[in-house]
Homo-oligomer: A and B are copies of this chain.
Amino acid sequence: MNATAGESPRLLRALRREPADCTPVWFMRQAGRYLPEYRKLRERHGILDLCWTAELAAEVTLQPLRRFPGLDAAIIFSDILMIAQPMGMQIEFVRSEGPAIRNPVASEADVAELRPVEPQRDLKPVLDAIRLVKRELKVPLIGFCGAPFTLASYLVEGGPSEDYLKTKALMRQPAWPRLMARLTEAVLSHLRAQVAAGADAVQVFDSWVGAVSPEEYRERVMPWSKMIFDALDVPAIHFGTRTAPLLELVRDAGGDAIGVDWRIALDEAWARLGDVAVQGNLDPQALLRTPADLQNRVDDILDRAGGRPGHIFNLGHGILPETPPESVEAVIERVHERTRR
């Protein structure tokens, strides 16, 4: 059972670094292909159909909550590239290859053609899904967006990339600040709209930011991320992967909690981060191991967190499709049981 009566939910307490009855836990991509009930829906609907149909997005969002009542948060089912469609990007999901953009951004002229986003008009299904979910949900709902850099990397590369060479080339052009400003504006208005629709907190996914150097981050990424966190007035989680070289800068850009992946030890990361909440950092691969192995890995992370208020247990990235649902159940139980005061 979650949230003692009269007490604010564990997730929100952790985001304020207040003690809670136990450590909150949720999973990135907790609604997804590892769930049989999700796969069943996907037999009949494309992933973009799920995202653009409020009732389906709400249903998918709630699936893991029904299966695992111990989850401490829901995250709205959506895709970080949804925002790019009303901006004018033509997006396809190629089966098992992820998103592909048919008209990537290559020049200042392309940037000038990007259209401003009006969430109430352009992203209404996301907002409607949030309203539908909130009618049923007993734990906090997390809204989200991609961070400007990670969105820019998709728009420029046209899809996932190994080396982000095009993005890093554009970064040195006058088009870059214009692109980042437009993405920042779109992200902020979308996050605001999600909060107005009922999201209790937001997560900003700078998933690919580990590709840039500290110098590049400081000069060409951070100002726009910071603008977003500075302007928000709800609890915010700032997520990235491979951020070990950037941790202090990512923290300075903002966020009540900083998400870290398994490539850095949680205690080391938290020592560097200082006075901020921390989210993480189980390797998604750990959910594919034996129950004993998995429990050891969970315990190690909890030990490193040391019971300090402000830890949100999560993976370092999304749940893998091969994950047995029982592993998710086991992690939720172990985290709650081992941290209960």
Chain A residues proximal to chain B, CB less than 8 Å: 112, 116, 177-178, 180-182, 184-185, 188-189, 192, 223-224, 226-228, 230-231, 233
Contacts and interface: CB of A to CB of B under 8 A. Distances in A.
B116 A181 contact: no
A339 B116 CA distance: 38
A233 B112 contact: yes
- Give the interface SS of chain A, mostly helix, strand, loop or mixed: helix
A184 B230 CA distance: 11
Copies of this chain, how many? 2
B177 A226 contact: yes
Contact of A231 (B185, B192, B223): B185
Contacts of A178: 230-231
12 contacts: A116-B192, A177-B226, A177-B230, A178-B231, A181-B226, A181-B228, A181-B230, A181-B231, A182-B230, A184-B227, A185-B185, A189-B189
Contacts of A233: 112, 116
A192 B228 CA distance: 18
Closest 7 CB pairs of A and B: A181-B230, A181-B231, A178-B230, A185-B231, A177-B230, A181-B227, A223-B223
A187 B181 CA distance: 13
A223 B185 CA distance: 14
The listed residue with most B CB atoms (<10 A of its CB), out of A185, A189, A224, is A185
Contacts of A185: 185, 188, 231
Contact of A230 (B180, B188, B189, B192): B180
A265 to B, nearest CB: 29
A185 B231 CA distance: 7
A116 B227 CA distance: 14
Contacts of A189: 189
A227 B116 CA distance: 14
Contacts of A180: 230
Nearest to A184: B227
Contacts of A224: 227
Nearest to A224: B227
Contact of A184 (B116, B182, B192, B231): B231
A182 B230 CA distance: 7
Contacts of A182: 230-231
Given A116-B192, A185-B188, 19 more contacts: A112-B233, A116-B233, A177-B226, A177-B230, A178-B230, A178-B231, A180-B230, A181-B226, A181-B227, A181-B230, A181-B231, A182-B230, A184-B227, A185-B185, A189-B189, A223-B223, A223-B227, A224-B227, A227-B227
